[in-house]
Amino acid sequence: MLDCRGPRLPRVLHWGRPLLRASDADLSALALASLPATVPNSLDTPASVAVVPESATGWFGLPGVLGHRDGRHWSPLFETEHVGVHDRGAGEGGEVAVLASDAGCGLSLELRLDLTAGGVLRMRAVLRNTAPGWYTLDGLVMALPVPAEATELLDFTGRWSRERDPQRRAFSAGAHVRDGRRGRTGSDASFILVAGEKGFGFRSGQVWGVHVGWSGNHRTYAERLPTGDSVVGGGELLQSGEVRLAPGVSYETPWVYAAHGDGLDEMAARFHRLVRSGRSDRRPVIVNTWEAVYFDHDLGRLTALVDAAAEVGAERFVLDDGWFRGRRDDRAGLGDWFVDETRWPEGLHPLVERVRARGMDFGLWVEPEMVNPDSDLARAHPDWIMATECRQPPPVRHQQVLDLRRQEAYDYILERLDTLVREYRIAFLKWDHNRDLVDAGVHEQTRAVYRLMDELRARHPGLEIESCSSGGARVDLGILERTDRVWASDCIDGTERQAIQRWTALLLPPELIGSHVGSARAHTTGRTQSLALRAGTALFGHFGIEWDLTAASGEERAELRRWVQLYKRMRGWLHRGLVVRADHPDPALWLHGIVSADRDQALFSVVAMATGARTQPGRVRIPGLDPHRRYRVRPLAPGDSPGTTAVAPNPWLAEGVVVTGQMLAEVGLSAPPLHPEQLLLLHITKA
């Protein structure tokens, strides 16, 4: 609910639970009871914060616009000139467009606030220089107020192979600012910043979450003033002097997304509905070669892997790093996007033909934004390496960044990718990005990457792209406007992936999260885990395999084939269903699942993440189903044999049990005792 009275920029009066029975009179009364719609004549009069906060109104928090014109005009005060409202109809959301200006500062501001049908608010601003002379813009953020009941904050940190690691703290006076300066979203990105009621969880407590849909430097923040006024917000993080607006030139912010929920699950469901809109639900089973062969590209070995992949039921074969000129390790070759003639004298055609003959489509790994100094490209065009005027950044993984702001570099990469996709009829690109951008202004680089992906997709409408960035370091709604899934992490250890996928799904529906079954001994952690844990974890994402199947036993391949068959049988409704996480008192026991859109069935997973605090785990409540229907709950093969336990399993596991949805949610079922890193699948069907 926006207050657009008077000359001020719009203020948010309500952002939370739907006002289902609110009349125009109710809303008018609420507006009249709110803070004044005019600029206060004195700072003794309280000021309500606008969606672009303004210091000139008496707001002492972070200003929405940071900038100046040669040291002047650093505190604009915008006056609204026009408000346009587009109501899409009942339940379909609507849009408000605002045009405002500050004639004295020579700036105009366009705001767009779009409420989607699923209840996600997305906001964007355009700042234009309307006066002679340059205007230096140092930042433009948008903010939303949160009520005093929001007393806790949740956001995320992380590192390579441990992305989206949650952290909680009190929402106290002052600013909690999370700046991402890595030139990409980052393994340690705040991801979503959530303010919520004390003790909020997946199924309880009101929460208000914001996400900045941008793949470059970004800022997310929560701020509480001594007055009690509190906001959450964010935007792009600009380097000083990175954006200078000539007369008539404008800057457009990325989308800032916001959603409310009664519990994190409801908030996530709103984001999922938005992200799913207009997307294909085709999610073929992938076999990726990285952990199977690494750089050892041998046609005979890869052909055997193709045959093994087809045997277990794979539908897509992705050739990872190592196929292009000079690439024997990570020290050379990036930028030389030509098939290596010494390894592949006939090109990739023999491998691709074998892949298609076995009923699979073909995908390829690329890292178009990077270049090795040891490459023909870098030797021919050293000026294409992104650098300051006086030096190059320190190398990371023996590579530098290709400056796609340069039209020649952009054209070269577009031509190479276009040629490869056409020649080999590539269905899928695993698009990697394996280093942070150091010592660089990345605003234009990020936009160039977006244009590159958009142009490639326009030339090849059926092409799918995965966002991979040292694993999960580029997971945001900006990159997902032009990609089809993300690689959540290079770690496919089942235990680590349970956590990574649990929190990544706060923003993304599971089918957009690439999740692969690795070898028994995880390459990134050294843990040895059962196939049930590895495959049962991958089942709740976009299922794939990253394992040298030629070295797997016949029994392992047969069991894996059963998991693939299960995924294929259920993915149609899993990929449209409602994600549910249960809050259990013992943090060692996790329960999560997906309920079909019609609530006729559900698939849940009970996972022992560690040794439990008690011998018996007790009851687990299973929420999300129709409370009035009766359901049959059964263990589901092949995830029905978690392994030998110290205590005999509960009798109901053998035959299943029929109970109402209300009983499952309010009373629950006794969980079987599980050893750490064991998993049990439960299939719930309408009785």
Contact 154, 194 (CB under 8 A): yes
Here the tokens at position 475 are 């997971």
Nearest to 423 by CA among 551, 494, 337: 337
Contact 194, 209 (CB under 8 A): yes
**Which position among 3, 265, 432, 436 bears the catalytic label?**
432
| 663 contact partners, CB below 8 Å, separation of at least 6 | none
Q: Is 70 a catalytic residue?
A: no
Here the tokens at position 655 are 């035959």
Question: Buried b vs exposed e over 60-74: b needs ≥16 C-beta within 10 Å?
Answer: ebbbbbbbebeeebe
Here the tokens at position 164 are 């989206």
Cα angle: 292, vertex 298, 299; to 5 degrees: 105
Nearest to 80 by CA among 58, 61, 57: 57
98 secondary structure, DSSP code: E
Contact 234, 141 (CB under 8 A): yes
d(CA 590, CA 502): 10
Residue 431 marked in a binding site: yes
d(CA 125, CA 136): 16
In three-state secondary structure terms, 199 is coil
Determine phi and psi for 386, rounding to 5 degrees.
Answer: -65, 125
Contact 113, 96 (CB under 8 A): yes
Question: Buried b vs exposed e over 357-390: b needs ≥16 C-beta within 10 Å?
Answer: ebebbbbbbbbbbbbbbbbebbeebeebbbbeee
Residue 262 marked in a binding site: no
Here the tokens at position 301 are 């070995």
**Which position among 490, 493, 548, 583 bears the catalytic label?**
490
Give the bridge partners for 67, in sequence order: 137
Here the tokens at position 388 are 């300051």
Residue 340 marked in a binding site: no
d(CA 256, CA 214): 9
Q: Is 155 a catalytic residue?
A: no
d(CA 649, CA 675): 12
Residue 468 marked in a binding site: yes
Give the containing element (helix H, strand E) for 414: helix 407-424
In three-state secondary structure terms, 646 is coil
Nearest to 126 by CA among 112, 105, 137: 112
In three-state secondary structure terms, 407 is helix
Give how far the C-alpha of residue 15 lies from the chain's centroid of Cα atoms, to the nearest Å: 23
In three-state secondary structure terms, 219 is strand
> Which sign does the torsion angle of CA 543, 498, 674, 584 carry?
negative
Residue 281 marked in a binding site: no
The beta strands (E) that lie in 438-488 are given as 464-467, 485-487
How many residues can be counted in the chain?
A: 687
Residue 435 marked in a binding site: no
Residue 390 marked in a binding site: no
Q: At what angle are helices 407-424 and 443-459 packed, to 10 degrees?
A: 30
* Numbered residues of the known binding site: 160, 320-321, 397, 430-434, 468, 490
Residue positions forming the annotated binding site for substrate: 160, 320-321, 397, 430-434, 468, 490
The residues annotated with a catalytic role in the active site are 432, 490
